[in-house]
Protein backbone atom coordinates (compact mmCIF):
# COMPACT_ATOMS: atom_id res chain seq x y z
CA UNK A 1 0.00 0.00 0.00
CA UNK A 2 1.31 3.46 -0.94
CA UNK A 3 0.72 6.30 1.51
CA UNK A 4 0.59 9.79 0.09
CA UNK A 5 2.84 12.30 1.86
CA UNK A 6 1.09 15.59 2.43
CA UNK A 7 3.25 18.48 1.33
CA UNK A 8 3.55 21.63 3.45
CA UNK A 9 4.25 24.79 1.47
CA UNK A 10 3.79 28.53 1.79
CA UNK A 11 0.45 29.90 0.62
CA UNK A 12 2.37 32.21 -1.72
CA UNK A 13 3.68 29.14 -3.61
CA UNK A 14 0.24 27.76 -4.44
CA UNK A 15 -1.36 28.14 -7.88
CA UNK A 16 -4.89 28.85 -9.07
CA UNK A 17 -7.17 25.86 -8.44
CA UNK A 18 -5.03 24.31 -5.71
CA UNK A 19 -6.43 23.76 -2.23
CA UNK A 20 -5.13 22.99 1.20
CA UNK A 21 -5.54 23.34 4.94
CA UNK A 22 -3.92 26.12 6.94
CA UNK A 23 -1.28 24.56 9.15
CA UNK A 24 0.70 27.35 10.85
CA UNK A 25 2.28 30.79 10.51
CA UNK A 26 5.90 31.94 10.31
CA UNK A 27 5.51 35.41 11.85
CA UNK A 28 3.70 36.06 15.14
CA UNK A 29 2.72 39.65 14.29
CA UNK A 30 1.31 38.63 10.92
CA UNK A 31 -0.34 35.58 12.54
CA UNK A 32 -2.64 37.79 14.62
CA UNK A 33 -3.64 39.91 11.61
CA UNK A 34 -4.32 36.84 9.45
CA UNK A 35 -6.31 35.08 12.18
CA UNK A 36 -8.47 38.19 12.59
CA UNK A 37 -9.24 37.92 8.85
CA UNK A 38 -10.36 34.29 9.27
CA UNK A 39 -7.16 32.42 8.38
CA UNK A 40 -7.27 29.91 11.21
CA UNK A 41 -5.25 26.70 11.54
CA UNK A 42 -7.33 23.79 10.24
CA UNK A 43 -9.32 26.01 7.87
CA UNK A 44 -9.76 24.68 4.32
CA UNK A 45 -8.72 27.13 1.60
CA UNK A 46 -8.49 27.22 -2.18
CA UNK A 47 -6.75 29.60 -4.55
CA UNK A 48 -9.28 31.51 -6.66
CA UNK A 49 -6.91 33.69 -8.67
CA UNK A 50 -3.73 35.71 -8.81
CA UNK A 51 -3.74 39.31 -9.97
CA UNK A 52 -1.40 40.28 -12.80
CA UNK A 53 2.22 40.07 -11.64
CA UNK A 54 1.10 37.69 -8.86
CA UNK A 55 -0.06 40.13 -6.20
CA UNK A 56 -2.58 39.98 -4.56
CA UNK A 57 -3.76 36.40 -4.37
CA UNK A 58 -7.48 35.66 -3.85
CA UNK A 59 -8.31 32.71 -1.60
CA UNK A 60 -11.65 31.16 -0.71
CA UNK A 61 -12.25 30.15 2.89
CA UNK A 62 -15.28 29.87 5.15
CA UNK A 63 -17.66 30.83 2.35
CA UNK A 64 -16.00 34.10 1.32
CA UNK A 65 -13.10 35.35 -0.80
CA UNK A 66 -10.13 37.06 0.81
CA UNK A 67 -7.37 38.92 -1.02
CA UNK A 68 -3.89 38.76 0.50
CA UNK A 69 -0.70 40.54 -0.43
CA UNK A 70 2.17 38.20 -1.24
CA UNK A 71 3.98 39.43 1.90
CA UNK A 72 1.02 38.16 3.93
CA UNK A 73 0.71 34.89 1.98
CA UNK A 74 4.43 34.21 2.60
CA UNK A 75 3.65 33.80 6.31
CA UNK A 76 0.98 31.09 5.96
CA UNK A 77 2.06 27.43 5.92
CA UNK A 78 -0.46 25.19 4.16
CA UNK A 79 -0.80 21.43 3.84
CA UNK A 80 -1.60 20.99 0.15
CA UNK A 81 -4.56 18.68 -0.51
CA UNK A 82 -5.03 19.12 -4.28
- What are the residue ranges in the chain where pLDDT is below 50? none
Q: What is the pLDDT of residue 52?
A: 77
Q: What is the pLDDT of residue 51?
A: 79
Q: What is the pLDDT of residue 5?
A: 62
Q: What is the pLDDT of residue 73?
A: 93
Q: What is the pLDDT of residue 54?
A: 65
- Name the pTM for this structure: 0.84
Sequence ranges of the domains in the chain: 8-80
Give the CATH number of domain 8-80: 2.30.30.90
- Taking only the tens place, the pLDDT of each residue in 10-30 is 999 999 999 999 999 999 999
4 SS3 class: coil
d(CA 30, CA 20): 20
Amino acid sequence: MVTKVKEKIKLSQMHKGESGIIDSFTNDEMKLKLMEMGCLPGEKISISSHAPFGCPVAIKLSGYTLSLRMEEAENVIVTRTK
